[in-house]
Chain A
Amino acid sequence: MVSALPSIDTVWEWLDAVPDPEIPVISLVDLGIIRGVVWEDDKLIVNVTPTYSGCPATSIINLDIETALRGKGIKKLELKRQLSPPWTTDWLSKKGRKALEEYGIAPPQPAGGPAKCPQCGSDNLSRISQFGSTPCKAQWRCDDCLEPFDYFKCI
């Protein structure tokens, strides 16, 4: 008997509903860390790449993926860690970048710093620290509205 397995597109939709545990306004798919979803017979294989080597959210992310997919009735599931190619902020989705900015986190820019203040839009900015509250962020300040804000580091 061939049971109807959910399509790969459906699984991607489910994963796109799993929020990043540290920045819950974007999904794991928006973050670009889901690198592959395939069926091997009746087993679902999900490849996940870490953002930063030591990101403490990695194990929570795996747990959240597993919980979400089990909740959708996936019985046989394997999560594989994929290191190569290394994660880059180029993989952030357009939707994710927009959601970050609306939330008050400036999205990554190739120039290496935020384009504008996520609060008032000014480009009169200074860097407070190269690092921030999570491995993927740095701290900046707007010199016009004086609000400090997080910048999503570009790597």
Chain B
Amino acid sequence: MTRNEALFQFLLRLGDNTGILSHRVSEWIGHAPVLEEDIALANTALDLIGQTTFWLELAGEVEGKGRTADNLAYLRDAWDYRNLLLVERPNGDFGKTMMRQFLFDAWQSLMLGKLLTSTDPRVAEIAAKASKEVAYHLERSADTVVGLGDGTDESHNRMQAALDDLWDYTGEMFISDEVDEVLAAANIAPKAASLKTEWEELVGHILRDATLTIPDSSYTHKGGKSGVHTEHLGFILADMQFLQRAYPGATW
């Protein structure tokens, strides 16, 4: 695998994580429990769409075949998507959506922190831009996880159920493969596994404050990073890509 091939895959992973999570979060618009949360979710989704545009634009440039960010977002099928399975999990209730957001934000903030010193300046500058937004997302999702976890019996039970359901999808963040090896050797990106300890400390600390118990499970659902997805991704894409599939090249 050449360095450019590895970088292309890595950029798709970053862009597809934010793109698919953005779509999931945007499903809440008009449905959130209170207006302020509706607005907060919409704004989070918007930041993630912006980050997706930057990552996929760069992916297209690195690939060198003239594909734009829109081409990559709207004209790839599920097996060409490279997002973590975690971000395609259904929203569930509000608590589960915020738990998924928190687990992802914690990872994304650490990953972007490492990418600030990437030897590829194009990667470093997007990371610098995105990391400011993600710090804000993490503050909110962590606060919400603590507020609901250490809240009423009802909210506590729902947050524990959310954590139990999502936990087995977090291990995929830390599985290194050839893409990481190639990029780590060039100091473009860190190995996936190198973020694990810091993530566990960060997440463990918040979950303790939230009075939640980390499931005693070492099972890991995986495959998203190499294009093997759960049944949910196809439904997301059917919705997200409908317009470009039905009316190819439509603009407005």
Which A residues are within 8 Å of any B CB, using their own CB? 50, 52-56, 83-88, 128-133, 135, 139, 153, 155
Bound CA–CA A31/B130 (angstroms) = 19
Quote the shortest CB–CB distance from A138 to chain B (angstroms). 9
Q: Looking at chain B, what size class is its interface with the partner chain?
A: 20 to 34
Q: Are B46 and A86 in contact (CB under 8 A)?
A: no
Judge if B204 is at the interface, Cβ distance under 8 Å: no
**24 examples of A-B residue contacts, CB within 8 angstroms:** A50-B129, A52-B47, A53-B47, A53-B53, A54-B47, A54-B51, A54-B53, A55-B50, A84-B121, A84-B125, A85-B128, A86-B129, A88-B132, A129-B36, A129-B40, A130-B40, A130-B136, A130-B140, A131-B36, A131-B140, A133-B39, A139-B36, A155-B132, A155-B133
Taking beta carbons and an 8 Å cutoff, which residues of B are in contact with A?
36-37, 39-40, 42-44, 46-51, 53-54, 121, 124-126, 128-130, 132-133, 136, 139-140
- Decide if A131 touches B54 in the complex (CB within 8 Å): no
Given the known interface contacts A52-B50, A54-B48, the answer about A86 and B39 at a Cβ–Cβ threshold of 8 Å is no
Cα distance A50–B54 in the bound complex, in angstroms: 12
Which of A53, A84, A132, A139 is close to B133, meaning CB atoms less than 8 Å apart?
A53
Q: By the criterion CB–CB under 8 Å, are A86 and B50 in contact?
A: no
Return A141 CB to nearest CB of chain B, in Å.
11
Which residue of chain A has the shortest Cβ distance to B55 in the bound complex?
A: A53
CB distance from B161 to the nearest CB of A (A): 25
Q: Once bound together, how far apart are the Cα atoms of A52 and B131, in whole Å?
A: 11
Q: Which residues of the partner chain B approach A83 to less than 8 Å between Cβ atoms?
A: 54, 125-126, 128-129
* Shortest 10 CB-CB contacts between residues of A and residues of B: A53-B50, A54-B50, A129-B36, A84-B125, A54-B46, A131-B40, A131-B43, A86-B129, A83-B125, A54-B49
Give the Cβ gap from A22 to chain B, nearest Cβ, in Å: 13
Majority DSSP secondary structure for residues of A touching B: loop
Q: Is the CB of B40 within 8 A of A86?
A: no
Check A135–B46 contact: CB distance below 8 A. yes
| Chain B nearest Cβ from A72, distance in angstroms | 29
Report the bound CA distance from A54 to B212 in whole Å. 33
Closest to B47 in A: A54
Are the CB atoms of A86 and B140 closer together than 8 Å? no
Q: How far is the CA of A132 from the CA of B39 in the complex (A)?
A: 6
Q: Enumerate chain A residues within 8 angstroms of B43, measured Cβ to Cβ.
A: 131-132, 135
Query: Quick check: B133 and A130 within 8 Å, CB to CB?
Result: no
